[in-house]
């Protein structure tokens, strides 16, 4: 399986979010002829998409870091039988 860095994942997610916002702006401009209303709809939907995607990506990263931290604490307490599980192909293994 090809290794994808976290940096590349973040860049791709940003570009995906940018595409979503551009689509929302285009749809909002077609639905309403009022510029202010179109901008308000675009901002609201763009923020909602950013919050949702940000939550998904941050939860994924934090979950793996928490798992690594917990295993590191066990090892530092002297339990050398612990193994660090890795399931991804990025920097956090």
Residue 28 CB neighbour total at 10 angstroms: 21
Res. 49: pLDDT tops 60: yes
What is residue 14's predicted lDDT score, i.e. its pLDDT? 79
What is residue 23's predicted lDDT score, i.e. its pLDDT? 82
User: How does pLDDT run across 18-48, given as a tens digit for each residue?
Assistant: 888 788 777 777 877 777 887 787 788 778 8
What is residue 65's predicted lDDT score, i.e. its pLDDT? 81
Burial environment of residue 7 by CB neighbours within 10 A (0 to 12, 13 to 18, 19 or more): exposed
Residue 79 CB neighbour total at 10 angstroms: 10
- CA 17 – CA 11 distance, rounded (Å): 10
Q: Tokens in use for 65?
A: 């870091």
Cβ(53)–Cβ(17) under 8 Å?
Answer: yes
What is residue 86's predicted lDDT score, i.e. its pLDDT? 66
What is residue 66's predicted lDDT score, i.e. its pLDDT? 86
What is residue 12's predicted lDDT score, i.e. its pLDDT? 81
Residues with Cβ within 8 Å of residue 31, at least 6 apart in sequence: 38, 41
- CA 53 – CA 80 distance, rounded (Å): 37
Average pLDDT of span 56-81: 84
Average pLDDT of every residue of the chain: 78
């Amino acid at each position: 399986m090809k290794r994808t860095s976290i940096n590349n994942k973040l860049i791709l997610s940003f570009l995906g979010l940018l595409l979503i916002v551009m689509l929302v702006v285009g749809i909002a401009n077609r639905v309403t002829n009022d510029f202010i209303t179109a901008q308000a709809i675009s901002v609201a939907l763009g923020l909602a998409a950013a919050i949702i995607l940000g939550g998904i990506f941050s939860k994924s990263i934090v979950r793996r870091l928490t798992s690594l931290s917990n295993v590191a604490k066990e090892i530092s307490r002297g339990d050398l039988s612990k193994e660090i599980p890795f399931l991804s192909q990025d920097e956090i293994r």
